[in-house]
């Protein structure tokens, strides 16, 4: 009795720590503390599980924890900041896969009692398997293993039919008097295939939303399996993560002005299509002229994008910012909710470079300031500053809220070449009269700007 009380109390404390950790992770200021709280809760929940009466296979549990912990530790130490989105995607997928694996083990044991328990196990297996296979595809896209999006003929019809068949097979498992291994096997194959088929067409600006959506799926799957196993900590942690992931997904979809159904069934595939032809020509600027424009400006707004991440230029950008501020220039950063390849990608990069949090502003906070800015410096961003989203009803991104970089007196765009961005949509900003393009990788281009700013400040 005392052991059961200790276990239940420990799970309760762990659940509180999970909630506190998630709350802390909602702000860059307290994110590190939140991770520590959640980590302590996970350690507590893991350790107390060893005290569960009737628990065995301790050696296998220790080996599994050691292997998983070692892989996570080594990969976490070695991963480049540019590779963080795909690490988030694959780790999230592993959570969904673990939930599906728990369901598979429970099915194999054949000891589940009651339709409700079987239903929850089946739901957890379905959502977890979709999250796992979908996250693997997302990882492959972000890692460059899968070079482009693939859209099947009658893609939406395939999605719907496959989903209905998978649900039907899952329903058969729930109502069957005994667990049929062949039925269970077919169910998992269909669920895994569903995750792949849904994710294959998705690319471009939709990817951060999809990663967030699969995070919500993983949380829900874990919560369902926690109920099946009777572990309150899993139930609470799963529900909290699922709810947070769902809210984040909705916020990001709203930031793109695209319903989640459109993201899944009418995705931006990364192939240039739609939109009016852009007239004019791109006008180049040299590093010296770009430096002079910013050195003698009153206010500069920097818009970072994935190009900054690829080049690892965040430290150079902050070095340039410090030089400009020493010369009396006000410099702030504008972040679009879906900039980069995962939620909060740009915030993480800037925090790593040491940029103070009070210099980083979200879309709603900063958009009104662009008209008063002398220079908007866009570093590797594309869709989030494309004015076609306001004016071109035929554009795939029409209606998406954007950063008003085009309203600044001068716009400097650091760009590797003359091609389109990740989504394949031509950017009208690059052809505007007040826009000049500084070609080259962000690391090299900003490095040259820094040298000229130093020379101008002597």
Active site residues: 383
Q: Report residue 219 as tokens.
A: 């949380």
Given a contact cutoff of 8 angstroms between Cβ atoms, the answer to whether 252 and 274 are in contact is no
CA atoms of 423 and 321, how far apart (whole Å): 29
Strand partners for 334: 361
Quickly count: other Cβ atoms within 10 Å of residue 346's Cβ: 28
Structure letter (DSSP) for residue 371: G
Alpha-carbon dihedral of residues 376, 445, 347, 456, nearest 10 degrees? Answer: -60
Q: How many CA atoms lie within 13 A of 272 on its CB side?
A: 10
Lookup result for tokens 């977890």: 128
The pairs formed by 250-253 with CB atoms below 8 angstroms and a separation of 24 or more are 251/337, 252/208, 252/209, 252/212, 252/337, 252/338, 252/343, 253/209
Alpha-carbon dihedral of residues 262, 266, 267, 272, nearest 10 degrees? Answer: -130
């Amino acid at each position: 009795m005392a052991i059961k009380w200790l276990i239940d109390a420990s799970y309760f404390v762990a659940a509180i720590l999970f909630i506190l950790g998630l709350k802390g992770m909602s702000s860059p200021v307290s994110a590190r503390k939140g991770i520590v709280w959640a980590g302590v809760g996970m350690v507590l929940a893991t350790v107390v599980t060893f005290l569960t009466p009737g628990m065995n296979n301790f050696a296998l549990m220790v080996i599994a924890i050691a292997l998983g912990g070692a892989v996570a530790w080594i990969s976490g130490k070695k991963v480049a900041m540019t590779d963080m989105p795909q690490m988030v995607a694959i780790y999230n997928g592993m959570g969904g896969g673990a939930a599906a694996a728990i369901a598979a083990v429970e099915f194999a044991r054949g000891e589940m009692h009651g339709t409700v328990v079987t239903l929850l196990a089946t739901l957890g297996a379905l959502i977890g398997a979709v999250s796992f296979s979908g996250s693997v595809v997302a990882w492959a896209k972000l890692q460059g293993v899968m070079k482009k999006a693939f859209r099947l003929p009658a893609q939406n019809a395939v999605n719907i039919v496959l989903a209905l068949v998978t649900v039907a097979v899952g329903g058969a498992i729930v109502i069957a008097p005994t667990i049929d291994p062949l039925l269970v096997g077919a169910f998992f194959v269909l669920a895994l295939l569903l995750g792949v088929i849904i994710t294959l067409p998705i690319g471009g600006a939709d990817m951060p939303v999809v990663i967030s959506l699969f995070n919500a799926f993983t949380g829900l799957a874990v919560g369902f399996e926690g109920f099946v196993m009777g572990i309150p900590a899993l139930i609470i942690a799963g529900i909290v993560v699922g709810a947070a992931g769902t809210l984040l997904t909705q916020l990001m979809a709203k930031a793109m002005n695209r319903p989640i159904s459109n993201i899944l069934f009418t995705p931006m595939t990364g192939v240039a299509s739609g939109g009016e032809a852009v007239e004019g020509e791109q006008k180049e600027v040299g590093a010296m002229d770009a430096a002079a424009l910013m050195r003698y400006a009153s206010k500069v707004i920097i818009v970072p994008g994935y190009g900054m991440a690829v080049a690892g230029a965040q430290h150079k950008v902050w070095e340039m910012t410090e030089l400009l501020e020493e010369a009396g220039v006000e410099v702030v950063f504008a972040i679009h909710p879906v900039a980069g390849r995962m939620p909060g990608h740009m915030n993480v990069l800037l925090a790593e470079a040491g940029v103070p949090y009070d210099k980083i502003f979200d879309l709603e906070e900063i958009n009104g300031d662009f008209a008063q800015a002398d220079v908007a410096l866009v570093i590797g961003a594309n869709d989030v500053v494309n004015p076609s989203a306001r004016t071109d009803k035929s554009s795939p991104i029409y209606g998406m809220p954007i950063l008003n970089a085009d309203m600044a007196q001068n716009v400097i765009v650091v760009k590797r070449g003359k091609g389109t961005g990740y989504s394949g949509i031509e950017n009208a900003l690059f052809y505007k009269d007040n826009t000049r393009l500084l070609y080259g990788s962000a690391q090299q281009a900003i490095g040259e700007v820094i040298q000229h700013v130093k020379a101008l400040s002597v």
